[in-house]
Amino acid sequence: MTSWRDRINQFSGRTRYVVCRLFLHLAGNEVAPLLGALNQAAFMADEAEGDMQVLGEELEKICQNLLQSDTYWRSAANEGDVFWDEGEAGNFVNELFTDSAQRYLSQPDLSSTSGQKNDPLVVPITQNIIVMLTVAYEGEVPELESDLSNVEALKEGLKALINLHYQNALRAVQIHFSPAQLGDELTPDQILVNFPELIPL
């Protein structure tokens, strides 16, 4: 619902910026391959150096992957805020980036090479993945500005993220996930400690 302050700012012609972060926990024997798609997206995002077209394309791929993996969804959460000043929105994006990056095992090592001599022949396979998507956009998207802690709302929210890319409304995209690489494990206890905001779906 639009607040009176929002309406006043809209009448004055000011640009409305929204910054939101979505958490999604997937669990099951088949979720580990998703790490490959997430790491590829992280690599492409790193190489893009802020190119919003590339970032939007990678966000779309991740959202499509998540929508196709809905049988593994276990819990979710979302948060965000509305800004009428681009600098304030940017500061909140940076705040969320720092928080996401500090979450348990959420930083992929994009500089490492595979095939190290000390690599074990068998690596443990995680059965839990947390995906954290943070975006900033211009305008108003009700599907992202409500509670996404139920399956249908979450599906609509992921579709809305894809639409933002095609509408060229995205102003920032951040992709974090835990664990960040094959061989790292995320246990149920670690999820409770490091991602307390998650709500069962």
How far apart (Å, rounded) are the C-alpha atoms in residues 147 and 131?
17
pLDDT of 1 reads 43
Residue 101 near residue 70, CB atoms below 8 Å: no
Q: Which residue has the higher pLDDT, 91 or 11?
A: 91
* Contact yes or no for 44/58 (Cβ under 8 A): yes
Question: What is this structure's pTM?
Answer: 0.86
Indicate if the pLDDT at residue 197 is higher than 80.
Answer: yes
Backbone φ and ψ of 194, nearest 5°: -95, -15
* Amino acid in the structure at residue 141: V
Beta bridge partners of 75: 25, 200
The label of the residue with tokens 């409304």 reads 169
The two structure tokens encoding residue 175: 């992709």
* Structure confidence at residue 111 (pLDDT): 57
For position 122, what pLDDT does the model report? 56
pLDDT value, residue 114: 44
150-187 burial, b if ≥16 CB within 10 A, otherwise e? eeebbbebbebbbebbeeebbbbbbbbbbbbbeebebe
Cβ-based burial of 57 (10 A; exposed 0-12, middle 13-18, buried ≥19): middle
Q: What is the pLDDT of residue 26?
A: 97
pLDDT tens per residue across span 151-195: 999 999 999 999 999 999 999 999 999 998 777 888 999 999 999
84, 39 Cβ separation under 8 angstroms = no
Which residue did the predictor score with more confidence, 4 or 33? 33
pLDDT tens digits, one per residue of 115-165? 444 555 555 678 999 999 999 999 999 999 999 999 999 999 999 999 999
Give residues with Cβ within 8 angstroms of 146, minimum separation 6.
Answer: 153
Helix (H, G, I), strand (E, B) or coil at 17: strand
* Average pLDDT of span 86-103: 94
Domain ranges of the chain: 22-109+126-200
Q: How far apart are CA 83 and CA 91, in angstroms?
A: 11
| pLDDT of 5 over the 90 cut | no
